[in-house]
């Protein structure tokens, strides 16, 4: 009965959302009331919340008559993962997305900081989008579908790869980013329809863009961290299509954030900013289509479902098409010439380069699909393509940021000289210490990160009092995070030591400054799996640092074999072990990696998120629009 309540609540919520969208159409008949629309939104939110709650209850009570519960949980699954299973599969993740959209629409409806006419327009568009998402769920992805009368005694369990804290944090943050872009889309369409522009709109767009950027930063970082420690292949980013699907919107959000920064004073990029709001929403749906339709093969992807893919494409066309029509009919807001000189020009060029990077990643992701659709054969686009384009663009953006962040005034030539000197010294030092390395990407990464760090230092010394204010401090931390992430990625990409060795009891291997001794092979048994574990002693010099226990597990539900890596974490880099298949004489294939600088990636992402959160704080003297 509980699942039926949730299903019926979702149907009613869809009707309420459609009414929120349709109600302004009857304005000329005198039946339109803003209070009525607000009441419908409140009812829509309550019904959607009830729907999500009933699905959570179905998981917690092990109701395996619900197909989605039976396919993503079992009675022994820990309750945090039962909650996470809400978004662990296609149906539940779409319900989570719809719930987030409803929550955002409710917050916008009852906000007292918006112009009422603009507020009504945004809420109306959000109502239509919620109705569209709910229809996709009800028609193609019903999470409340029953398995009656053949109810299984036990569920199939959640995918073992997803039973990790990365699942609890990564997907919700990505979906929150998509929700943010949906709000920005609604705001852009409303602004175009109402010909609404000016500082108030820029302020509102910036607030939502910054929030979107923060959660997408966290989502991509946690996804990378999950792949690094869970998949057992030792990497942190493979340019997988599913990785790219969430990374491309992050790049668009980054470019949009910088354009809105420029737009605060001159209002010269309002039309471009509105266009990027629409583009970011469209790319979020395109990325979701790639993940959900089965057109790509990926360990991250959901099961192939062409009907779901068609529903997503239809939703894309039905939402973005009218938005483009509004843009063509109502026209773009008038704006002043874009700034091309000084700090503003550098910021603009950096934003444009970020967009170029986004489209380069999109092209590389979709090119194999287009090749297959056009019957031109099979083609693979891998990391070499993405790295050859993305690395130089990122380094250029960091250099532009370094020059843009330098303080103005008579001392600027000296500051530029110091930035250039820091880049030159760092590159020279690396060339002297590692003469065997001559990769241009190495020198570009070191030079750009050093230049950015020096620019931030000079800015802090020039005006230390500004770092006591939330927004300047946030901007500094975000750019510091970029520099740290570039250094981390450069270090782990060029200085990593790897070895693939045969090891068994009594055998050892020296790698970097570590001595590893294989002491024993042990049998293990856990919830839903059996497996083998290697006990490997790690020594640094004459002392024992600890024991690493890489595992190879066989899950009894479908006899899937997975590796469980082991990590010795150090601030300057990790020692990484993963266990391969068994060889003869009781030996196993062991991957050993020393990853210097890897923690710079997570630290950099954390600094960027912290900087973004500080940027969300409203200045004391700023009027709320």
Convert the pLDDT of each residue in 92-114 to its tens digit.
999 999 999 999 999 999 988 88
pLDDT at 624 over 50: no
Query: What's the pLDDT at 122?
Result: 96
With respect to residue 485, please indicate whether it lies within any of the assigned structural domains. Answer: yes
| Residue with token string 């599913």 | 242
Confidence check: pLDDT of 298 > 60: no
Residue among 90, 83, 69, 183 at smallest CA distance from 137:
90
Q: Indicate the pLDDT class of residue 623, thresholds 50, 70 and 90.
A: very low
| Angle at CA of residue 211, ends 393 and 352, nearest 5° | 25
Note whether residue 469 is domain-resident. yes
Together in a domain, 327 and 389: no
Residue 344 lies in a domain: no
* pLDDT band, very low/low/confident/very high, at 249 (cuts 50, 70, 90): very high
| 3 state DSSP class of 429 | helix
Q: What global pTM score does this model have?
A: 0.93
> What residue numbers bound the domain in which 281 lies?
2-195+266-339
Does 466 lie in the same domain as 512? no
Classify residue 414: in a domain, yes or no.
yes
479 and 580 share one domain: no
pLDDT top residue among 54 and 150: 54
42 & 169 share domain: yes
**525 lies in the same domain as 442:** no
Predicted confidence (pLDDT) per residue in 311-327, tens digit: 989 999 999 999 999 98
Q: What is the pLDDT of residues 497-529, one digit of tens each?
A: 999 999 999 999 999 889 999 999 999 998 888
Q: Are residues 577 and 611 in the same domain?
A: no
Q: Do 326 and 432 have their domain in common?
A: no
In a domain, 225, yes or no: no
Residue finishing a domain among 308, 339, 370? 339
Q: Which residues contact 297 (CB under 8 A, 6 or more apart)?
A: none
- Could you say which of 339, 363, 393 is where a domain stops? 339
Same domain, 286 and 300: yes
- Of 339, 372, 397, the last residue of a domain is 339
Report how far residue 313's alpha carbon sits from residue 83's, in angstroms, rounded to the nearest whole number: 29
What does the alpha-carbon distance between residue 88 and residue 511 come to, in Å, rounded to a whole number? 38
Q: Which residue has the higher pLDDT, 163 or 536?
A: 536
Considering the domain boundaries, does residue 431 fall inside one?
Answer: yes
The answer to whether residues 11 and 121 belong to one domain is yes
HEC string of 223-272 equals HHHHHHHHCCCCCCCCCCHHHHHHHHHHHHHHHHHHHHHHHHHHCCCHHH
Looking at residues 38-66, what average pLDDT do you find?
95
At 191 the three-state DSSP class reads helix
Per-residue confidence band for 342, with pLDDT thresholds at 50, 70 and 90: confident
511 & 486 share domain: no
pLDDT at 335 over 90: no
Task: For residue 53, give the H/E element and its range.
Answer: helix 34-60
Domain tally for the chain?
A: 3
Same domain membership, residue 422 and residue 469: yes
Q: What is the DSSP string of 567-587?
A: EE--TTEEEEEEEEEE-GGG-
Could you tell me if 51 and 118 lie in one domain? yes
Who has greater pLDDT, 160 or 427? 427
Cα dihedral 156/157/159/161 (nearest 10): -140
Is position 207 within any domain?
no
Residue 227 lies in a domain: no
Instruction: Say which residues have a Cβ less than 8 Å from residue 416's Cβ, sequence separation at least 6.
Output: 403, 406
């Amino acid at each position: 009965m509980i699942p039926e309540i949730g299903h019926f609540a979702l149907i009613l919520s869809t009707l309420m959302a459609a009414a929120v969208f349709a109600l302004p159409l009857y304005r000329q008949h005198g039946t339109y009331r803003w209070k009525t629309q607000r009441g419908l939104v409140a009812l829509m939110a309550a019904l959607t919340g009830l729907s999500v709650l009933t699905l959570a209850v179905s998981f917690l009570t092990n109701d395996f008559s619900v197909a989605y519960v039976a396919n993503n949980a079992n009675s022994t699954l820990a309750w945090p993962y039962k909650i996470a299973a809400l978004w662990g599969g296609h149906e539940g993740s779409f319900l989570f997305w719809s719930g987030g959209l409803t929550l955002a629409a409710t917050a916008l409806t009852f906000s007292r900081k918006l112009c009422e006419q603009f507020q009504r327009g945004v809420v109306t568009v959000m109502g239509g989008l919620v109705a569209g998402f709910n229809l996709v769920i009800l028609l193609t992805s019903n999470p409340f579908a029953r398995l009656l009368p053949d109810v299984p005694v036990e569920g199939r369990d959640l995918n073992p790869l997803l039973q990790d804290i990365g699942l609890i944090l990564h997907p919700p943050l990505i979906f929150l980013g998509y929700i943010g872009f949906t709000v920005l889309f609604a705001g852009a369409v409303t602004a175009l329809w109402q010909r609404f522009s000016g500082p108030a709109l820029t302020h509102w767009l910036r607030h939502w863009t910054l929030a979107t950027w923060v959660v997408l930063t966290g989502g991509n970082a946690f996804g990378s961290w999950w792949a690094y420690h869970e998949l057992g292949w030792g990497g942190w980013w493979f340019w997988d299509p599913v990785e790219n699907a969430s990374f491309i919107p992050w790049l668009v959000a980054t470019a949009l954030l910088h354009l809105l920064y420029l737009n605060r004073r001159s209002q010269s990029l309002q039309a471009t900013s509105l266009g990027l709001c629409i583009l970011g929403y469209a790319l979020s749906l395109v990325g979701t289509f790639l993940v959900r339709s089965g057109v790509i093969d990926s360990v991250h992807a959901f099961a192939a479902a062409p009907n779901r893919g068609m529903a997503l494409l239809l939703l894309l066309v039905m939402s973005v098409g009218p938005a483009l029509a509004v843009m063509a009919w109502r026209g773009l807001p008038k704006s002043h010439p874009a700034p091309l000189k000084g700090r503003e020009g550098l910021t603009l060029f950096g934003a444009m380069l970020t967009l170029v990077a986004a489209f380069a990643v999109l092209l590389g992701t979709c090119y194999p699909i287009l090749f297959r659709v056009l019957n031109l054969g099979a083609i693979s686009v891998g990391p070499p393509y993405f790295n050859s384009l993305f690395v130089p663009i990122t380094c250029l953006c960091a250099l532009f940021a370094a020059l843009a962040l330098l303080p103005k005034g008579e001392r600027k030539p000296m500051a530029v000289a110091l930035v250039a000197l820091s880049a030159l010294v760092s590159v020279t030092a690396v060339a002297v210490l590692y003469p065997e390395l001559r990769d241009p990407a190495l020198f570009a990464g070191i030079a750009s990160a050093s230049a950015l760090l020096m620019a931030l230092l000079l800015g802090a010394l020039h005006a230390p009092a500004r770092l006591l204010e939330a927004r300047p401090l946030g901007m500094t931390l975000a750019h510091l995070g970029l520099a740290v992430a570039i250094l981390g990625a450069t270090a782990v990409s060029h200085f990593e030591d790897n070895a693939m060795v045969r090891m068994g009891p009594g055998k050892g291997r020296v790698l970097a400054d570590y001595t590893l001794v294989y002491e024993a092979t042990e049998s293990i048994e856990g919830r839903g799996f059996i497996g083998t574990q290697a006990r490997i002693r790690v020594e640094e010099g004459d002392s024992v640092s600890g024991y690493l226990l890489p595992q190879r597990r066989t899950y009894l539900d479908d006899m899937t074999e997975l590796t469980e890596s082991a990590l010795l974490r150090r601030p300057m880099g990790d020692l990484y072990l993963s266990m391969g298949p068994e060889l003869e004489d009781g030996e196993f294939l062991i991957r050993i990696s020393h990853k210097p600088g890897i923690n710079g990636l997570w630290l950099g992402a954390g600094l960027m998120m912290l900087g973004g959160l500080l940027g969300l704080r409203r200045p004391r003297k700023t009027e709320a629009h």
